[in-house]
Amino acid sequence: MLQGDHQIPVDVDKILREPDTLPLDGNEESLRIHLICWQVLHAMHDHRARDVIVAAHRALRRRAAKIGDPEIRRVFLEDICLHREIVQADKG
């Protein structure tokens, strides 16, 4: 469980079983959790890492598609560190 201002229960098993269940409500914490899961799985050479990062990137692209202005969309994908890391991890 991650702690901060709120406690967020993290069901890693669910992420691994259903990586495409990311909410599209703009919840950055869900993307961050998926990125962290990917980092751990990737470091362990676990084949499930790919599914997790692809799902995170797919959710990010769906969010970006709602942004009408191409420059703001680019900034959303490239200038926000978390988003940039997801895009780069999926390309790598």
The stretches of the chain forming alpha helices (DSSP H) are 12-17, 28-43, 48-65, 70-78, 81-91
Q: What is the model's pTM?
A: 0.79
Residue closest to 56 by CA, chosen among 15, 86, 11 = 86
Query: pLDDT (tens digit, 9 = 90+) per residue, 27-72?
Result: 788 899 889 989 999 999 999 999 999 999 999 999 999 999 999 9
Residue closest to 90 by CA, chosen among 63, 43, 34, 50 = 50
